[in-house]
Structure 1
Amino acid sequence: MRDQEPSPRDAERRLSTKEAAELLGVKPETVYAYVSRGQLSSRRVTGGRGSTFDAREVDALARRNRRDAAGSSPSGGELSVRTRITLIESDRYYYRGVDAVDLATRHSYEEVAEWLWTGRMRPGTTFTAPAASVAVARRAVDTLPEHASPTDLLRVATIAAATADPLRYDLSEDAVLGTARTLIPTLVAALPPAGHDRRDEGPLAHRLWTRLSPRKDPDEASLRALDTALALLVDHDLAASTLAVRVAASARAHAYAAVSAGLGVIEGPLHGAASGLAHRLLVDVLDQGDAAPVIADELRAGRRIPGLGHRLYPGEDPRARALFALLERIPRAEPALLAARDIVETTARHAPLHANVDLALAVLTTSCGMPPTAGETIFAVARTAGWIAHALEEYGERPLRMRPSGLYAGPKPPQPLPE
């Protein structure tokens, strides 16, 4: 902003550059950066080379900066939300204080979901979809074009199921839990079959298998790997989609709408669709028999290698470790496991990154004859349970608390009307 001449009436309320910098806790150069961004105005010192600053403006900016810092996490300016659901620390993660990997490898997806929602274990629990809900969801999904993505199908099925539930606006805990226990199986039931008859009874993983794999008679080890993958992916703290769900719940959107908000976010390549990229990479390595040329092509194109590293785990992703251990018990998964190991070892020559859960999911989907989009479907179905848990938690908080204030960095008003 251009320097202005001072007026006598506010001269006594001016600060020097040094004083402004001290009040803001920044270097003098940063004070002038605030001026150039329109966040502060300055006036030249009469007969001198320095500038002065309005003490009220400097104080207001200092308060905004402190407020922004108070609402940020130490890791880089991200929103922090108090939650009792998932803790991630020291390359491990916990559901309500219990090791999530232990839960996922010892209990079914439905049992882990119940634990996340209620803090109680219900052995043998299964989710049942109401016939009316399934019928309306299937009719809606059947109208979509063949190229529709899995997330498209699930979004439409969620909206359709909502229209069949006249009590969806009841946000009491019992009502939301009832919605959760019927919505998740409805989403699975609405998905088209993978070349053979749908299965609409039994554990959810068995039903989902018939939507993802053309193999009619899966072995027990493959089904267990799919069920464990679902349980491992139930929740992962405040991922982007989960934050969207909490924003919707903060505005008191019903559970279907909150889940729809989450589904709107996961389709990005940096979130739910990441496993599809890893699947395609793995298929290319299997086709060529060597990871080196495939990795070289990715790097030459300026693309990051999918399926490697995770910002929350400096070491090994515990979800990948648990899923790889189960996949090693499936004989037909060996080629994909070897290809995944080749990817990790080849990339480690210039970037020592561990495999993440997306690469483990890619091994599962390729070895079970599933399409590249199967990992996205698994992720979305699994995470729906976590979204419900976060929506429930948010319904118990002050409404509309997920409304951060923007830190305005535009031109200082008033500006002239544009011509």
Structure 2
Amino acid sequence: MSVEKVEAAGDPKAEEGKVEKGLEGVVALESSISSIIGSTLTYRGIEIDELAEKATFEEVVYLLWFGKLPNRAELADLDSRLRENSELPEPVYQLIKSFPKDIIPMDGLRSAVSVLGHYDPDTAAKPDDSEANLRKAIRMTAAFPIIVTAIERVKNGLEPIKPRKDLSIAGNFVYMLDGVAPDRIAIRAIDTALVLHADHELNASTFSARGTVSTLSDIYSAIVSAIGTLKGPLHGGANEAVMKMLLKIDDVSKAQQWIKDAIAHKEKIMGFGHRVYKNGDPRAKHLRKMSEELGKLKGETRWFEMSAIIDDYVSNEKGLLPNVDFYSASLYYVLGIPIEAFTPVFACSRISGWIAHCFEQYADNRLIRPRAHYNGPINQHYIPIEERV
């Protein structure tokens, strides 16, 4: 599946070719960051199952940015730099406090990151300055969880909680939501979720980021472009829809009949199927396991139980398998994360992949400028306004 090469620009006949809607199956560029082969996802050649079970998010950040797993000294250096930069300029806090109480959190994140760029010490650096971009990358990656949790607290009339220097990115995220020291299980659950969402080949938001930096725009602009793309419910918002569905059902005993009726009425069930994975999303099983384990630990198993019933029914009746969004909904909810913050949590992870792709694009850049197959009218002429009907 490919788009035929345009031989003569402007000639409609020369531009005829097979166009894949949504660019499905079209290879747009080469990348060494992540791969999806069949139902296997890898980061820099390492399967996601290994990373989900063994790696921390900070290790994955290093892997994506530098192309290899860090040794102890390299990991300690990155971790130290992330912690040193885990703070926001006061004007960004004030901006967050000025947001309307009903602001969509992804809109708030987009605006805060854009303003954050004004206060970056490297804001005057050339867009493709690799050393400056690494410093910007560290600042943004450290800032995302602070911004997301600050927006949630301000929306609820609470003061933002400043991060602790002794906590990891996952630990600080949990801590900054409610100010309570996070337990080991909660930190591990968030850390694993961050690992699983970190990168996913040339997805929509990553393509937006790469397209932006291909113009030699700055990396903050690229990340703002990516946030706006991730906001859409067909990309980053599906787990929110899944949790709203579970809350609507509310009762384990009603789950099977509810999903049976929904399918009979041809309602769209979010969290199932995937454009790329035809034999199941490899990330889903890890989130399913964590959702079940955490539900038992918290004494709140109904959300997982309903999810499992729906999963079994949809898989058996429709042949559709859950994707990464399906079990992340019940996991995040049991962790006490507000539904509207589910997609921003996704962004706190995916910024690592966005940045890796920006680095890769800058390193071997060519303006991303695809063509469109024109299918409108031809041989038209200008008609004077007095003759138009």
Taking structure 1 as the reference length, the TM-score comes to 0.78
| Aligned with residue 16 of structure 2, among 42, 49, 65 | 65
One-letter code aligned to 1:325 = K
Residues 5-20 of structure 1 mapped to structure 2, 5 A cutoff = none
Conserved? CA contact 1:94–1:100, under 8 Å: yes
1:120-171 alpha-carbon deviations (Å, 9 max, x no partner)? 3243442136487432321221111111122112112211110002523432
Residues 49-64 of structure 1 mapped to structure 2, 5 A cutoff = 60-61=11-12, 63-64=14-15
1:371-392 alpha-carbon deviations (Å, 9 max, x no partner)? 1123211111111111111111
One-letter code aligned to 1:411 = P
Check 1:369–1:78 CA distance in 2 against 1; reply closer, same or farther (3 A cut): same
Conserved? CA contact 2:290–2:331, under 8 Å: no
The answer for unaligned runs of 5 or more in structure 1 is 1-24, 26-55
| Aligned with residue 209 of structure 2, among 232, 235, 245 | 245
Which residue number corresponds to residue 145 of structure 1?
100
Which residue number corresponds to residue 80 of structure 1?
28
Deviation at 1:346, TM superposition (A): 2.6
Partner-residue secondary structure (3-state), 1:94: strand
Deviation at 1:75, TM superposition (A): 7.9
Residues 161-310 of structure 1 mapped to structure 2, 5 A cutoff = 161-168=116-123, 169-170=125-126, 171-190=128-147, 191-192=149-150, 194=153, 197-201=161-165, 202-212=167-177, 214=178, 216-287=180-251, 289-296=253-260, 298-299=262-263, 302-310=266-274
Partner-residue secondary structure (3-state), 1:114: helix
Deviation at 1:200, TM superposition (A): 3.4
One-letter code aligned to 2:105 = P
Deviation at 1:254, TM superposition (A): 0.7
RMSD: 2.9
Distance 1:329 1:299 in 2: 29
Which residue number corresponds to residue 38 of structure 1?
none
Conserved? CA contact 2:252–2:305, under 8 Å: no
Deviation at 1:354, TM superposition (A): 1.5
Residues 266-415 of structure 1 mapped to structure 2, 5 A cutoff = 266-287=230-251, 289-296=253-260, 298-299=262-263, 302-330=266-294, 331=296, 332=298, 334-400=301-367, 402-415=368-381
One-letter code aligned to 2:16 = N
Distance 2:53 2:316 in 1: 33
Check 1:281–1:143 CA distance in 2 against 1; reply closer, same or farther (3 A cut): same
Deviation at 1:215, TM superposition (A): 8.0
Check 1:76–1:263 CA distance in 2 against 1; reply closer, same or farther (3 A cut): closer
One-letter code aligned to 2:145 = V
Question: Per chain length, whose mean CA-contact separation is higher, i.e. which structure has more relative contact order (CA < 8 Å, sep 6+)?
Answer: 2
Distance 1:226 1:272 in 2: 17
1:343-367 alpha-carbon deviations (Å, 9 max, x no partner)? 1123235312222111121121121
Conserved? CA contact 1:316–1:354, under 8 Å: yes
| Aligned with residue 111 of structure 2, among 156, 161, 186 | 156
Deviation at 1:107, TM superposition (A): 1.7
The answer for unaligned runs of 5 or more in structure 2 is none
Distance 2:289 2:345 in 1: 18
Distance 1:278 1:382 in 2: 20
Check 1:298–1:141 CA distance in 2 against 1; reply closer, same or farther (3 A cut): farther
| Aligned with residue 107 of structure 1, among 33, 37, 55 | 55
Check 1:132–1:73 CA distance in 2 against 1; reply closer, same or farther (3 A cut): same
Partner-residue secondary structure (3-state), 2:346: helix
Larger radius of gyration: 1
One-letter code aligned to 2:355 = I
One-letter code aligned to 2:291 = L
Conserved? CA contact 2:33–2:201, under 8 Å: yes
Q: How many residues align?
A: 359
Distance 2:189 2:100 in 1: 31
Check 1:111–1:163 CA distance in 2 against 1; reply closer, same or farther (3 A cut): same
Conserved? CA contact 1:233–1:379, under 8 Å: yes
Check 1:271–1:95 CA distance in 2 against 1; reply closer, same or farther (3 A cut): same
1:123 paired with 2:75, answer yes
Distance 2:21 2:235 in 1: 21
1:250-301 alpha-carbon deviations (Å, 9 max, x no partner)? 0111111100000011111111111100111122333464213432564466
Check 1:302–1:141 CA distance in 2 against 1; reply closer, same or farther (3 A cut): farther
Distance 2:278 2:55 in 1: 27
Identity within the alignment, %: 27
Distance 2:318 2:87 in 1: 52
Conserved? CA contact 2:252–2:302, under 8 Å: no
One-letter code aligned to 2:250 = L
Deviation at 1:306, TM superposition (A): 0.9
Partner-residue secondary structure (3-state), 1:189: helix
Check 1:229–1:350 CA distance in 2 against 1; reply closer, same or farther (3 A cut): same
